[in-house]
Structure 1
Amino acid sequence: MITQAHTLGKDESLLVECQNDFRLLPEVCEAFKLMQTAAAQDNVDIQIVSSYRSFERQLSIWQNKWSGKATLLDANENTLDSAALTDQEKILAILTWSALPGASRHHWGTDLDVYDKKAVEKSQHNFQLVCSEYDQGPCTLLNNWLNEHAIQFGFSRPYAEYKGGIAREPWHLSFQASADKMFAQLDEQALLNNLRKSNILGLESIVTNMPDIYERFVLNRGTV
């Protein structure tokens, strides 16, 4: 049974180890392996970069970006000066690329980031997980393959286009049937209550801006 704890990244009991310590829901792992095998026949080496991420891990990412220990980027992957941003601007900048702790699809065990490992290694490219690598770089063939075949294995690409909320992420896959069940459990108040119990930086501004954050980023309805 799916609970809010699962959607918030607080319960890992439904997960299995899929490949190389990356964890997913059992049905997601099975579908991924089938897709991986099919892609290999077309000389595409789909490998996981990131899968399940706990609330605590997402919180660590947030804290590092808020405190200036990690780089902030705009939607076009340009570096921002964290010290020059207001709290509201900083929240929007972080949320463009990193979900609010408790609101990440990576909490669900349904979503994963992928790349073409062999193509990256062959290119001797310093892989950074950025859009250019999928548009005109070593993961272009993978990107094109996913455009054509991912849906056949039950995977969608929730961040295929930028709508004014979360940035475009061509590497992000979601197993639609299972993700829809998790999405249905999302609750703004539960998310807020969970954040209040944490030591998240910028809490006051998050609370003030939560209606916009929830609509624009958590539901990813953006601004357009």
Structure 2
Amino acid sequence: MLTLEQLYGINSNHTEQIAGERDGVRLQEPVAQAYIAMRDAAADAGITMAIASAFRDFERQRTIWNRKFNGEAPLYNDRGELLDATNLSVGEKIEAILTWSALPGASRHHWGTDFDVYDPTPFSTGERKLELIPAEYQESGPCYELHQWLIKHARDFGFFFPYARYQGGVAAEPWHLSQQHLANQAHAEINVEQLTNVLTKYDVAGREYVIEQLAEIKHRYIDSICNADITSGDIWFG
């Protein structure tokens, strides 16, 4: 069970550095061990795997959020098309941000259970830059083979894709993996009252609107994930 500070990304002491990953890539210890086992299994199959982003604290998420809200970073619709932020209302702007970036305090990356994975080999020369866009994981994309391997094997290590496909909230993220058991525990603890209390303490752009709409935001962007339980009849990996 995570503390409130860990749950909402204020504290990082529930995570540890992952062996073999670049400095600062952190997960909960059992998640890290499961990831390492999966990475080794992929390597045995000739597939290279690395983590682009794992634990992300509240302040990092707040910086991403505020830059997008203030026009310092681009906004996209659910199809990945660039939007003109100057023509968007506050609500439309926040909806566009939430499609691709979590609300500070509500990111699954706070929990140390979730991470973004990619194949580093096509990017090793520096000529190509990882963008974390769906096209990179589709056929002919640089991370396609890795994604196909994960579709077949990630479940064996306890992982699933919470954003396997677009469901009207967060856009499809074929790079985002979640450790089912621990992430489900954390997800169940998130509530509007606690999140409101966290947001009121920090300078989060558009905070007044966000707090007013927080119940709907939670329903649409936090709770609406792809079901990892294959017995439910849902599709595991999009």
Shorter-chain TM-score range? over 0.9
The count of corresponding residues between Structure 1 and Structure 2 is 222
Structure 1 stretches lacking a partner, 5+ long? none
SS at match of 1:184: helix
Alignment of 1:15-30 (within 5 A): 15-18=15-18, 19-21=21-23, 22-30=25-33
Instruction: Pick which of 200-209 and 113-122 moved more.
Output: 113-122
Alignment of 1:1-224 (within 5 A): 1-18=1-18, 19-21=21-23, 22-121=25-124, 124-136=127-139, 137-220=141-224
- In the superposition, the TM-score normalised over structure 1's length comes to 0.95
Which one scores higher on RCO, CA 8 angstroms, separation ≥ 6? Answer: 1
Verify the 8 A CA contact 2:163 2:225 in the aligned structure 1.
no
Structure 2 stretches lacking a partner, 5+ long? 227-238
SS at match of 1:79: coil
* Runs of 4+ deviating beyond 6 Å: none
SS at match of 1:32: helix
- Once residues 109 and 57 of structure 1 are traced to their aligned partners in structure 2, the CA distance between those partners, rounded to angstroms, is 14
**One-letter code aligned to 2:113:** T
Which structure carries more strand by proportion? 1
**One-letter code aligned to 1:170:** P
Q: Give 1:123 deviation, angstroms.
A: 10
- Once residues 184 and 85 of structure 1 are traced to their aligned partners in structure 2, the CA distance between those partners, rounded to angstroms, is 33
Q: Give 1:168 deviation, angstroms.
A: 0.2
Overall identity of the aligned pairs, in %: 41
Verify the 8 A CA contact 2:75 2:85 in the aligned structure 1.
yes
- In the superposition, the TM-score normalised over structure 2's length comes to 0.90
**One-letter code aligned to 1:174:** S
